[in-house]
Amino acid sequence: MNPISRRGLLAMVAGLAATAGLSSLWVSRMTSYKGPITDHFDGERFFDRDSAPPKGWLDVLRWRFTTKPAPWPDWAPSPFADTPPPRVGGDKARLSYVGHASWLIQTGGLNILIDPVWSQRVSPVSFAGPKRHNDPGIAFEKLPKIDIVLVSHGHYDHLDLATLSRLAGRDAPRVITPLGNDLTMASHDSAIRAEAYDWRDRVELGEGVAVTLVPTRHWTARGPFDRNRALWASFVLETPAGRIYVVCDSGYGDGRHFRNVRDAHAPLRLAILPIGAYAPRWFMKDQHMNPADAVMALADCGAEQALANHHGTFQLTDEAIDAPENDLYAALDAAAVPRERFPVLKPGQVFEV
């Protein structure tokens, strides 16, 4: 084993924070959620009876000290950059891919951001940890006025406090998030208008648009001692263009989460499904789908159309930067699913329904 420098050790700790919910004691200031015991909250921590628990410390260290990540280019710019219109009305929805799990969805006269991350790193520290390999597909100053933000869970590559503060200062949007993540936001900036909801809660957003938080096969943490003290979720958006199923992070398991969404919310016009951060499989498979899993998830949820996310911006795991796209198209071909039914967008590309 090669010796690890002090800076290398700090980078490893910051990387763990993004991928495994670990951070140093001095950066974890999360206040724990308090609420009644339910079928997925034991009074202290959330859980999912239909999922596997996250890996323990020994497995995390085994991965980090034996990992052989594929090299990524220092910079992999997208050839696209979007300048969205102020609003999209009628029965249409316009989706602009910002990068990783971040999207701008414009529909029903509302501008909705999903897991917005404009920071250069997804880490508890600014000098180490996973950094961007391409710019956001929309420059922050070119964003239209944001009405709603949906934040799926507390991992650093999804809940970016710096970006949420910028949005709060500029537009003061409503921020819809699962239980407990609002406390993380409020402890950082009281101007963030966070509203916390449980699984299966339906929230009216206005203009004929609503969102329901649905269970997903994942977990959350900001530091070493707050594992699953907040909730995680996927989203089903009801829009004039149809229902859009937004999955920012999820394992596949036996597929029941996706079939449950189909049973409760069909028909689905569109599903946004993660395809990256999946290697090595022994460590990642319980909480992160690979492309073959994502193809099965599309079949399970029954959506007419899918779009890929959670790839190509931050190197969180071991696969190459282009492996998710290549593996997805191979999996689609093997399943006899047309590639145009599940395309991979670059940051700044737009898809309309």
- Decide if pLDDT at 25 tops 80: no
Comparing 86-90, 111-115, 220-224, 345-349, the range with the smallest average pLDDT is 220-224
* Residue count (the chain): 353
> CB of 182 within 8 A of CB of 32?
no
Please determine, for residue 3, whether its predicted confidence score (pLDDT) is greater than 70. no
Token pair recorded at residue 101 = 């799990």
User: Above 50 in pLDDT, residue 1?
Assistant: no
Q: Is the pLDDT of residue 261 over 50?
A: yes
Average pLDDT estimate for 270-276: 98
CA dihedral 244, 250, 255, 261 (to 10 degrees): -30
Q: What is the pTM of this model?
A: 0.92
Element (H, E) at 327: helix 323-334
Distance separating alpha carbons of residues 181 and 153, to the nearest angstrom: 7
| Mean pLDDT in residue range 232-243 | 98
